[in-house]
Amino acid sequence: MASDILCFGEALGEFNQTRPGEPHYLFGFGGDTSNCAIAAARSGASVGVIGAIGDDAFGEDFIALWAREGVDTSGMRRVAGGDTGLYFVTHGPDGHAFSYRRAGSAAARITAADVPLDRVRSARILHVSGISQAISDSASEAVLAAIAAARAAGVTVSYDTNLRLRLWPLEKARAVTNAAMRLADIALPGMDDARQLTGRETPDAICDFYLEGGSRIVALTLGKEGALIATPQERRVIPSISVNAVDATGAGDCFDGAFLAEWLRTQDPFAAGRYACVAAALSTRGYGAVAPLPRREEVLAAMG
């Protein structure tokens, strides 16, 4: 089954602390590319996921989740005896913090030979991230194989840097993600990540870095300030909206999925940026990465 947006990466079971300082955790779902897929599906796009998950209870939970959300899983591998990774979210004065249990997970064991290239070639957008590459060397090679197949077939490549220095040292992250970003049509970096990966300090300089590398669209997220959307011809700062935020765990992934869905619908990166900024803000109103992801009608209502 062909999907307009195909997301390749790691799915993680989530335990999110709902009472700061107390051992109360809400089970949910995470993994940046899975979150992106669900955000895009809730925005009305045709979406699929590829990668690998375990044949454990958490893997079953993900299959059920994706089915409920209308996300195609025909390209997702179930690894016999494999584990689905987990992570824990805690909250404090400085925001949220993550702890992971993912070593040797099914997602980390994927290889280039496991990539369903027919699914990649039939998509309109392939979305991957720095995390998709950081979890193992074989996963990084698998992502590059998927990108190569997408580019050869004329499929748009979308890449979110999503820097996680617990997974790899900064120098390696710079080398791998900057090389991959040069193969991407749509660059989706966050400001803090991009400063470390590019060595540039200002939003405009960061956008220049990625545009000079070959990206056709850069959507640089700026947190509460919104996003800077840049093309070779034009750039605009898109403001966010004010909400009562409690947990920003999946906000960046929500931005990605909402942006890609709206860009496919309109072919207008600035309209997509406005829609995505509002969607990302709305996603911070509840705990967890997936549960608060808004649906299209909520986003349109908030846009006014």
Q: Is 253 a catalytic residue?
A: yes
Quote the CA–CA distance of 23 and 29 in Å, as a whole number: 18
Quote the CA–CA distance of 164 and 11 in Å, as a whole number: 15
Quote the CA–CA distance of 52 and 115 in Å, as a whole number: 10
Which position among 32, 83, 160, 253 bears the catalytic label?
A: 253
Indicate the Cα dihedral angle 187, 238, 31, 245, nearest 10°: 160
- Per-position DSSP letters for 95-121, written without gaps between them: EEEEEEE-TT-TGGG--GGGS-HHHHH
Say if residues 68 and 41 touch (Cβ distance below 8 Å): no
Quote the CA–CA distance of 143 and 286 in Å, as a whole number: 31
Quote the tokens at residue 176. 């791998």
Residues annotated catalytic, as ranges: 253
